[in-house]
Amino acid sequence: MYDYIKGILTAKTNTVKGSFVTVETCGIGYLCEITPRDYSVIDDGEIKIYTVLIHREDKMSLCGFLHKEDRDIFNILTSVSGVGSKMALTLLDEFESSELIGFVIGGNYKELTRAKGVGPKLAQKIILELKKN
């Protein structure tokens, strides 16, 4: 629905529930969950965040990315059953997009298990399902 949001960074919040930024554009503040890696490099001022609207039964939220490629990899990762937005953000925080692509192409599931919360079964499932596509 939203490709990106360009505006002024008005807030940064880092909690145990995640890293968030608020981007104001046209008088509206958009709260986006981002990776801790992106959080650490975002500065005050104008910003462009590539977004994904997550629509669940009980809530709607935005995930944001500094790079369009990361957003695209996020969408691919969340297409795997058992990989939600939190897990996809964790994987993108731990690895560069190019590394993730390399792991999938090479079938290297052991490297994926370095990410917090990713066990061997989930790592193998990610590789298997993404290789099918």
pTM score, two decimals? 0.90
CB atoms inside a 10 Å sphere around CB 32: 22
Asked if 77 and 92 sit in the same domain, the reply is yes
Q: What b/e readout covers 83-92, taking b as 16+ CB neighbours within 10 angstroms?
A: bebebbbbbb
Q: What is the pLDDT of residues 31-73, one digit of tens each?
A: 999 999 999 999 889 999 999 999 988 989 999 999 999 999 9
Record the tokens describing residue 21, joined without a space. Answer: 């930024």
CATH number at residue 87: 1.10.150.20
Average pLDDT, the chain: 93
Task: Give me the CATH number covering residue 52.
Answer: 2.40.50.140
